[in-house]
Amino acid sequence: MRLKFVFVLAIVFSVLLPINAQDLALIPTPHTLKVVNNQYLTIKKWKVDGSNDYHDLIETFALQIKACGIDFPVELSRRGKASNLILKEVSGEKQLGEASYSLVINPTGATIEFSHARGLFYGLQTLLQITNSGSVSGNKMKIPCLEIEDHPQFEWRGLMLDESRHFFGKQTVFQLLDWMAFYKMNRFHWHLSDEQGWRVEIKKYPKLTQVGGIGNYSDAQAPAQYYTREQITEIVKYARDRFIEVIPEIDMPGHASAANRAYPEFSGGGSKDHPDFTFNPGTPKTYSYLTDIMRELAHMFPSEYIHLGGDEVHYGNQQWKENPDILALMENKKLGNMREVENYFLRSMSDSLNTLTRKMIGWDEIVDAGIPSNNCLVMWWRHEKPGQLTKALANGYKTILCPRIPLYFDFVQHESHESGRRWDGAFVPLDKILAFRQDYGAVISKYADLVVGVQANLWTETVSHTGRLNYLIFPRIAGVAEIGWSTHSSVDQTGFLKRLETNFPLYEKMNIQYFNPLSPGSTPEIK
């Protein structure tokens, strides 16, 4: 898959003749980019200085170049031999950030400076795009001389995929990870449980997938679909090789219907519209059960965090008021109402994660739960509740910005589209994403140490096949990458669209059905 992906990159970028910074069409925009006018590097091959410990990344780079279909080899030079691509690890006073790199191309060669493997990875990917955009004559390549100093604005540049409502499978996830790496995104948030289905194998509780995995949003009786432990391991490694961290989400105490179909003894009941919606917070066996699940997740996912949801519990906690276990808990712990019961549950599960050397992520409802700010990360999603964001930051919670408007990809992206969500008529066109840094610039500046990143979320109630999934993600993923990486205070939307347009032939070569914001009629809505 990787070779095919890079081969297509070559086809697209090789037709571009670099003239200035804009024509290099890099997404996301580097921190600084200077093209040296009328100066070029002309070479027959990359001869890479091999006197370092990064041969695996060099090998990947070599495979990518070979896959381009251009007679342009990459060779490792032995120590002391001449090289035209120097990979220079720097330390001390020149120490760079983990994701930082510099790339300099002059008439005699190129140098990437970095202090960490992640920075080298990003530098090599940038060099790959630039190499592929060079002009080829005979067996020589001509690429512009330039200087790049680059690092991301945010530590967290994420994408969430909901596979509870509809299941897409390993190849779709691989493709998303490829594109995330291409756009320098680094967090894949994987929503693996909800009302419709449970999608991750837990050895101790096999009925979670055998029973809870049955059904989806379109068909409650669809055969069970889920990821085996072996598939999870493969996907996590695939992501790690692209410097992407995978964060699993198991929603609780609400959105638990699929799990409760499998093990009803842990159900706290629900409501008419959301039966068996909650876990039972009133009995110790519930916490033991969920901690067992977290233990297996921690084994499969080496991420620092596990997402516990914590949202919309009020949709289905009505039966808590009559549950003897919960009434006893309220009396013993002096809990005054159902919200305090919910918060007690979240604090308890946060403590359980701590025993597994993991930390909790939750949706912005958890701000009110009293969890220590050093033990959890908040995702602010309710754009209509800016006060919840202010409260999270004022109380010292590190926060990821993922407001529905404009970062929920299940919202339509054009006024003519009919299948998908709107909020009082509002939807999510690309230009709203690109304006994000301007709209939230004051918050980001005031709480620079606490706003750790941005994330796009795709809920899949209206997404039953990969064609529609891709249509909702592309090209908006490029916009999220731009606002997450670029250190500039605002996005030049005209310039961004010019760079983005060069990606459209790439999408087509990869058989990705996408929406074209420059010509909406040319890519009608996929339902």
Q: What is the DSSP letter of 524?
A: P
* Whole-number CA gyration radius for the chain: 24
Q: Which of 49, 113, 162, 194 is catalytic?
A: 194
Q: In angstroms, rounded to a whole number, what is the distance separating the alpha carbons of residues 266 and 36?
A: 66
Burial of 338 (0-12, 13-18, 19+ CB in 10 A): middle
| Element at 476 (helix H, strand E) | helix 476-485
Q: What is the DSSP string of 160-175?
A: EEE-SSS---HHHHHH
Q: In angstroms, rounded to a whole number, what is the distance separating the alpha carbons of residues 32 and 44?
A: 28
Q: Cα–Cα distances in Å, from 426 out to 162, 307, 350, 456? A: 22, 28, 35, 17
List of residues 6+ apart from 216 with CB closer than 8 A:
165, 166, 167, 196, 197, 222, 225, 464
**Pairing outcome for strands 109-114 and 85-89:** parallel
How many residues does this entry show for the chain? 527
- If DSSP codes are grouped into helix, strand and coil, which group holds residue 400? strand
312 in catalytic set: yes
205: left (phi over 0), alpha (psi -120 to 50) or beta: beta
In the chain, helix, strand, coil percent, each to 5?
40, 20, 40
- If DSSP codes are grouped into helix, strand and coil, which group holds residue 61? helix
Q: Which of 89, 241, 292, 312 is catalytic?
A: 312
Extended beta strands in 402-471, E state: 451-458
3-state secondary structure string across 209-251: HHCCCCCCCCCCCCCCCCECHHHHHHHHHHHHCCCCEEEEEEE
Q: Which residue in this structure is represented by tokens 């190849």? A: 171
| Element at 59 (helix H, strand E) | helix 55-66
Q: How far, in whole angstroms, is CA 105 from its chain's centroid? A: 31
Identity (one letter) of the amino acid at 55? H
Q: In angstroms, rounded to a whole number, what is the distance separating the alpha carbons of residues 255 and 191?
A: 11
Q: What is the DSSP letter of 265?
A: G
Cβ proximity of 477 and 211 under 8 Å: no
Query: Per DSSP, what are the bridge partners of residue 158?
Result: 187, 455
Enter the tokens of residue 179.
């594109």
Q: In angstroms, rounded to a whole number, what is the distance separating the alpha carbons of residues 35 and 18?
A: 9
255 in catalytic set: yes
Catalytic residue positions? 194, 255, 312
